[in-house]
């Protein structure tokens, strides 16, 4: 797009809620605990294969703890979002960072989701579905009240924006 009203890809201004770090850490711990527990129980029950089951359990536990300690803090530094009258800006990722922009005229639906862990941390995810083949934009780790307000604002902005979202 050219001109004075062009929507440009730029770093979004808003950070996710600080509680998202705890939510992400809990997700990492749960994702690690399940396979480690299964391998540990099998290792305890199957004596001939004990070493070959407990070794991967220990490696997975160490890797999971390292990821739990490092990635959530990193995601908090990287994940950003912003909504203007013209577009929704989102930046996500850890090793591969992705920046996306959705002009208001391309937005088709706006949803909020609160899974069980998100509810525990009083967080929510806002999903902005567009006419893009890349898929929806997700703003994770928002305070649940902010997410509801954001969904309401996006709905109003989308309604007021000319275009057919295709």
Distant-in-sequence, close-in-space partners of 91: CB < 8 Å, separation ≥ 6: 11, 12, 78, 79, 80, 81, 97, 98, 99, 100
Predicted confidence at residue 7, as pLDDT, reads 62
Name beta bridge partners: 81. 14, 90
- Predicted TM-score (pTM) of the model is 0.85
CA angle 109–110–115, rounded 5-degree value: 130
- Are the C-beta atoms of residues 79 and 18 closer than 8 Å to each other? no
Longest CA–CA span in the chain (Å) reads 72
Q: Under CATH, which number does the domain 81-160 receive?
A: 2.30.29.210
Residue corresponding to tokens 């070493």: 51
- Are the C-beta atoms of residues 99 and 86 closer than 8 Å to each other? no
Provide the 3-class DSSP secondary structure of residue 14: strand
Both tokens of 116, joined, read 């069980």
**In the chain, beta strands by DSSP E:** 14-15, 80-83, 87-92, 98-103, 107-113, 123-130, 137-143
Name beta bridge partners: 57. none
Q: What is the mean pLDDT of each run of 10 residues along the chain (166 residues)?
A: 58 94 97 96 92 95 96 95 93 89 90 96 96 88 97 91 67
Predicted confidence at residue 1, as pLDDT, reads 43
Measure the CA–CA gap between 19 and 165, rounded to whole angstroms.
Answer: 33
- Are the C-beta atoms of residues 108 and 130 closer than 8 Å to each other? yes
Question: Is the CA virtual torsion 155, 161, 164, 166 positive or negative?
Answer: negative
Measure the CA–CA gap between 157 and 151, rounded to whole angstroms.
Answer: 10
């Amino acid at each position: 797009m050219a001109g004075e009203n062009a929507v440009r890809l730029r770093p979004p201004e808003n950070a996710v809620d600080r509680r998202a770090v705890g939510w992400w850490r809990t997700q990492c711990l749960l994702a690690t605990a399940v396979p480690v527990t299964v391998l540990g129980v099998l290792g305890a029950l199957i004596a001939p294969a004990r070493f070959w089951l407990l070794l991967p359990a220990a490696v997975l536990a160490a890797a999971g703890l390292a990821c739990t300690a490092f990635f959530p803090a990193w995601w908090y530094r990287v994940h950003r979002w912003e909504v203007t009258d013209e577009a929704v800006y989102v930046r996500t990722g850890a090793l591969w960072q992705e920046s996306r922009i959705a002009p208001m005229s391309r937005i088709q639906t706006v949803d909020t989701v609160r899974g069980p862990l998100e509810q525990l941390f009083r967080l929510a995810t806002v999903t902005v579905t567009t006419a893009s083949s890349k898929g929806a934009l997700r703003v994770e780790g928002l305070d649940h009240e902010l997410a509801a307000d954001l969904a309401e604002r996006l709905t109003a902005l989308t309604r007021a924006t000319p275009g057919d979202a295709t």
